[in-house]
Structure 1
Amino acid sequence: MITTYRISGQNFEIPLWSGHIPNYQKTDEQEIRDTTNIVRISKVQKPTIAVYLPAGKNVTRKAVVICPGGGYHILAYDWEGIDIAKWLNANGIAAIVLKYRLPTSRSNITPHKSPLIDAQRAMRMVRHHAGDWNIDPEKVGIMGFSAGGHLASTLGTHFDEELFTSDDPIDAISCRPDFMILAYPVITFSKPFMHRGSMEALLGKDAKASMKDHYSNELQVKANVPPTFIVHSGDDKAVPVENSLVFYQALKEKNVPAEMHIYSFGGHGFSLAIDKGHLQTWTQRCIDWLKSLP
């Protein structure tokens, strides 16, 4: 049974799964946390959501599930997770930081399935608890950074994909995001713009072309993909800006509402872009866009 929480202006962490974890096998692996300069988490064994709720008088009833990046090898948990949640809270938006399983762990049965299974469950959990957390279940979006942006865009394009069987009523709830926010996202696994490290971590070095296409999310856009906000820098040497360009073009072709901001500088992994000149304004552009949604 999932415990019910009703807390305003505070944060707490709960497990994604109350019993059996789909696509999981017990090994001797242990979760690793490196706190050298940012919190980096690897070898996730028990996925969780950390729930951050704004103070009652600030509530907009919107919510965002956040997928930190890290090349599908680690999670930049505070840099692209907790800090982002606090920024969203400051704008009256509930934020849910997803600690998802990484495909490089030996505890996965089928490695590429676990991140998406966890993202689907996170969306369902937020809608399940919407009344307790003062969230509108029809205003729940997904946000991702770098490889977390790949996971977010995978959920936005593969939300109807059935990856496991379940008799838990929570897993019958829709996991389609109401909107997507993608920051310097990995999108394509096609040459020449793919991020090889993320692709090999998710699918392996000998991945079939059909699997690469399946997870090249610009090829998976349909008319029911949610409205999308994209931010990237033109000088990104890790994940080329073309990842965002091809996704925006695919959205445009399917008449999916989309807004994209390309900054001339910033490199990769700029998070909130604190003290990075006008790049820091991307967060206000994102809030403006969120306010424009129905």
Structure 2
Amino acid sequence: MRLLFTFIVLSSIHLAHGQNYLLPLWKDQVPNQQKTKEVESRDTTDAVRIAYVQNPTIEVYLPGKSQATGQAVVICPGGGYSILAYDKEGTDIAKLLNGQGIAGIVLKYRLPKSQSNIVPHQSALMDAQQAMKLVRANADKWNIDPDKVGVIGFSAGGHLASTLGTHFDDESRPDFMALIYPVISMDTEITHMGSRKNLIGETPTEELVRLYSNELQVQVNTPPTFILHMMDDQVVPVENSLRFYEALRKADVPTEMHLYPAGGHGFGLAIGRGHLASWTDRLIEWLQHLD
């Protein structure tokens, strides 16, 4: 009886805090995909790392209805366009947002190094655009304002997020974006070479380099942007964020940037990392004061 009571109480607590959904991104055939013998891999040794994504999904974390602000954020985990740091830069972030009444939608997007892609560099952006459309299509059901749907991305996921924020149609444009230690440019002087090679290959054309150098793609309708980077980042140089900030400023796009002197790369929530852990407070404050 005591075990049954405990189960009922825990179930009630879960429902009070909201609901989770796992949905396929594409209803029928996944675009830009060919049949191969590849299978998705998931390493859970010390964190959740996903590779060779075959069936892209969104994992939806909703706050309790009474707490919902109407905001929603599509979350793009990083991993150099090779793997997805699915919990550290995905589900952990969704849970943080839920605590502030914000829906968190974790995107499991296809990675360009997979042989299942027909045109490797196109799949991740296709998935991100579809995620935005799917969230807005379910806005009423999920207590989301369709005009308050943004994107956050980490590292290579930050590149995907900034690509979404600069390469969009009317239905897939994010209302805001947050870029956390992001890859922005394909310029060999400042890019993360692993991400560049995985996305556009060893010897890309100048057209592809320019297309995915998102500091060159900023327009006046690029959404309001939050940027966070560490000055001592040895993986993705801070110049990525600096160049993007300057492009946003020139286009009069509302932008807030935070540069920390130290902290490195890939720290996720930065729990136990002193004042670095306060970066999430800055993000939440920014989200709360968006128009």
Could you state the TM-score of these two structures normalised by the residue count of structure 2? 0.94
AA at the equivalent of 1:208:
T
Structure 2: distance between partners of 1:203 and 1:33 = 24
User: Which residue of the partner structure matches residue 40 of structure 2?
Assistant: 31
* Aligned mates of 1:93, 1:250 — CA distance in 2: 29
Superposition map of 1:57-76 within 5 A: 57-76=66-85
Computing the radius of gyration over CA atoms, which structure comes out larger, 1 or 2?
2
Paired letter, 2:216: L
Q: Distance in 1 between matches of 2:111 and 2:83?
A: 7
Instruction: State the distance in 1 between where 2:79 and 2:188 align.
Output: 21
Which AA in structure 2 matches 1:258? T
Q: Which residue of 2 aligns with 1:166?
A: none
Tell me how far apart the structure 2 counterparts of residues 245 and 252 of structure 1 sit (CA, whole Å): 10
State the match for 1:228 in structure 2.
225
2:31 to 17, 22, 31: 22
What count of residue pairs does the alignment treat as equivalent?
276
> What TM-score, normalized by structure 1, do the two folds share?
0.93
1:70-109 maps to which residues of 2 (within 5 A)?
70-109=79-118
Identity within the alignment, %: 62
Q: 2:120 aligns to what SS in structure 1?
A: coil
Of residues 264, 281, 290, the one that matches 1:267 is 264
Q: Distance in 2 between matches of 1:209 and 1:183?
A: 26
CA distance in 2, matches of 1:187, 1:151: 9
- Residue of 221, 228, 243 corresponding to 1:246: 243
Aligned match of 1:187? 184
CA displacement at 1:12 relative to structure 2: 1.6
Superposed CA offset, 1:178-201 (max 9, x none): 000000000001131111100000
Cα distance change of structure 1 residues 120 and 8 upon mapping to structure 2, 3 Å threshold: farther
1:129 to 117, 126, 138: 138
Aligned to 1:9: 18
Q: Deviations over 1:79-138 (max 9, x none)?
A: 000000000000100010000000000000000000000000000000000000000000
Partner of residue 213, structure 2? 216
Instruction: Check whether the contact 1:8–1:133 (CA below 8 A) recurs between aligned residues.
Output: no
User: Secondary structure of the residue that 1:206 maps to in structure 2?
Assistant: coil
Q: Counterpart of 1:54?
A: 63
Gaps of 5+ in 1: 1-6, 161-172
The corresponding residue for 2:152 is: 143
Structure 1 Cα separation of the partners of residues 26 and 166 of structure 2: 23
Which residue of the partner structure matches residue 204 of structure 2? 207
Q: Structure 1 stretches (4+) deviating beyond 6 angstroms?
A: none
The runs of 5 or more residues in structure 2 that have no matched partner are 1-15
- In structure 2, how many angstroms separate the alpha carbons of the residues matched to 1:142 and 1:204? 26
Q: Which amino acid aligns with 2:98?
A: N
Distance 1:56 1:17 in 2: 27
Q: Is the 8 A contact 1:143 1:181 kept in 2?
A: yes
Counterparts of 2:17 and 2:107, CA distance in 1: 19
| Mapped partners of 1:11, 1:273: distance in 2 | 24
Q: Distance in 1 between matches of 2:50 and 2:104?
A: 19
In structure 1, the residue corresponding to 2:227 is in which secondary structure? strand
User: CA–CA distance in 1 between the matches of 2:273 and 2:185?
Assistant: 27
Read off the aligned partner of 1:245 and give its amino acid letter.
Answer: L
Q: What SS does the aligned partner of 1:98 have?
A: strand
Q: CA deviation at 1:8?
A: 7.2
Alpha-carbon distance, 1:46 to partner: 0.3
Distance 1:208 1:196 in 2: 15
Post-superposition Cα deviations, 1:256-293, rounded to whole Å, max 9, x if no partner, equal 00000000111000111101111111100111101111
Of 3, 22, 45, the match for 2:54: 45
Aligned counterparts of 2:290 and 2:124: Cα–Cα separation in 1: 27
Deviations 1:190-223 (A, max 9, x none): 1311111000000010111111111000000000
